[in-house]
Amino acid sequence: MDTPRPPATLADVAERAGVSRQTVSNAINNPDLLRPDTLARVQDAIEHLDYTPNQAARHLRTRSSHLVGLRLGPAQEFTANMAMDRFVHALVEASREAGYHVLLFSGGRVAEGELPDPLGGYDDLLRSTAVDAFVVTDTYLGNPQTIGLAQRRAPFVAFGRPWDDPGAAHPWVDVDGAAGIAAATEHLRAQGHERIAWLGWQPGSRIGEDRRAGWHRAMTALGLPTAGLEAAVEDGVLAGGRAAASLLGSSAPTAFVCASDTLAVGVLGALSDRGLKPGRDVGVVGFDDSQVAQVMGLTSVRQPLEEVAVHLVAALRALLAPGHGAESGVLLQPTLEVRSSSTRG
Amino acid sequence: MDTPRPPATLADVAERAGVSRQTVSNAINNPDLLRPDTLARVQDAIEHLDYTPNQAARHLRTRSSHLVGLRLGPAQEFTANMAMDRFVHALVEASREAGYHVLLFSGGRVAEGELPDPLGGYDDLLRSTAVDAFVVTDTYLGNPQTIGLAQRRAPFVAFGRPWDDPGAAHPWVDVDGAAGIAAATEHLRAQGHERIAWLGWQPGSRIGEDRRAGWHRAMTALGLPTAGLEAAVEDGVLAGGRAAASLLGSSAPTAFVCASDTLAVGVLGALSDRGLKPGRDVGVVGFDDSQVAQVMGLTSVRQPLEEVAVHLVAALRALLAPGHGAESGVLLQPTLEVRSSSTRG
DNA sequence: ATGAAAGCGCTAACAG
DNA sequence: CTGTTAGCGCTTTCAT
With beta carbons less than 8 A apart as the criterion, state whether B53 and B26 touch: no
The answer to which of A124-133, A218-227, B30-39, B172-181 has the lowest mean pLDDT is B30-39
Domain assignment of residue B99, yes or no:
yes
Q: Pick the residue with more confidence: A218 or A170?
A: A218
Residue A323 and residue A262 in one domain: no
A249 CB burial (10 A radius; 0-12, 13-18, 19+): exposed
Domain assignment of residue A85, yes or no:
yes
**CA–CA dist A126, A69 (Å, integer):** 9
Q: What is the mean pLDDT of residues B293-317?
A: 95
**CA–CA dist A94, A316 (Å, integer):** 11
pLDDT of B141 over the 80 cut: no
A166: alpha, beta or left, given left = phi > 0 and alpha = psi -120 to 50? Answer: alpha
What is the Cα B194 distance to its own chain's centre? 33
Q: Pick the residue with more confidence: A319 or A254?
A: A254
Integer distance in angstroms from the first to the last C-alpha of chain B? 67
> Tell me: the pLDDT tens digits for A229-238?
999 999 999 9
Q: What is the pLDDT of residue A115?
A: 63
> Tell me: the pLDDT tens digits for B192-244?
999 999 999 999 889 999 999 999 999 999 999 999 999 999 999 999 999 99
What CATH number has the domain bearing residue B195? Answer: 3.40.50.2300
- Cβ of residue B61 lies below 7 Å from strand D: yes
Domain assignment of residue A34, yes or no:
yes
Residues 1-30 of B with CB under 7 A from strand D: 6, 9-11, 21-22, 25, 28-29
Residue B235 and residue B293 in one domain: yes
Domain assignment of residue B57, yes or no:
no
Q: What is the mean pLDDT of residues A147-163?
A: 82
Domain assignment of residue B55, yes or no:
no
> Tell me: the pLDDT tens digits for B142-159?
566 676 766 677 899 999
Q: What is the pLDDT of residue B169?
A: 85
Domain assignment of residue A205, yes or no:
yes
> Tell me: the pLDDT tens digits for B253-290?
999 999 999 999 999 999 999 999 999 999 999 999 99
> Tell me: the pLDDT tens digits for A164-179?
887 788 899 999 999 9
Residue A164 and residue A98 in one domain: yes
Residue B283 and residue B321 in one domain: no
Q: What is the pLDDT of residue B64?
A: 94
Residue B183 and residue B255 in one domain: yes
Q: What is the pLDDT of residue A283?
A: 98
- Cβ of residue A11 lies below 7 Å from strand D: no
Per-residue pLDDT band at B2 (split at 50, 70, 90): very low
Q: What is the pLDDT of residue B62?
A: 93
Strands A283-287 and A255-258: parallel
What CATH number has the domain bearing residue B25? Answer: 1.10.260
Per-residue pLDDT band at A2 (split at 50, 70, 90): very low
Integer distance in angstroms from the first to the last C-alpha of chain A? 67
Mutate to test the interface with B, among A10, A67, A85 (most CBs of B within 10 A): A85
Protein-covered nucleotides of chain D (CB closer than 7 Å) are 1-5, 7-13
Strands A335-337 and A283-287: unpaired
Residue B155 and residue B242 in one domain: no
Q: How far is A222 from chain B (nearest CA, A)?
A: 33
Residue A124 and residue A267 in one domain: no
In whole numbers, what is the pLDDT of chain B averaged over residues?
89
With beta carbons less than 8 A apart as the criterion, state whether A285 and A341 touch: yes
Q: What is the pLDDT of residue A73?
A: 76
Q: What is the mean pLDDT of residues A128-147?
A: 79
Domain assignment of residue B54, yes or no:
no
Q: Pick the residue with more confidence: A76 or B199?
A: B199
Nearest CA in chain B to A95: B105
The answer to which of A100-104, A317-321, B221-225 has the lowest mean pLDDT is A317-321
Confidence (pTM): 0.93
Domain ranges, residue A314: 67-174+304-332
What is the Cα A340 distance to its own chain's centre? 27
- Structural domains of chain B, count: 3
- Cβ of residue B54 lies below 7 Å from strand D: yes
Domain assignment of residue B60, yes or no:
no
pLDDT of B36 over the 80 cut: yes
**CA–CA dist B186, B184 (Å, integer):** 5
**CA–CA dist A294, A137 (Å, integer):** 24
DSSP assignment of A270-298, as one string? HHHHTTPPBTTTBEEEEES--HHHHHHT-
Q: What is the mean pLDDT of residues A208-228?
A: 97
Residue B72 and residue B148 in one domain: yes
Residue A215 and residue A157 in one domain: no
Residue A322 and residue A231 in one domain: no
Residue B163 and residue B205 in one domain: no
Residue A187 and residue A273 in one domain: yes
Query: How many residues comprise chain B?
Result: 345
Q: Tell me the percentage of chain B whose pLDDT exceeds 90.
A: 68
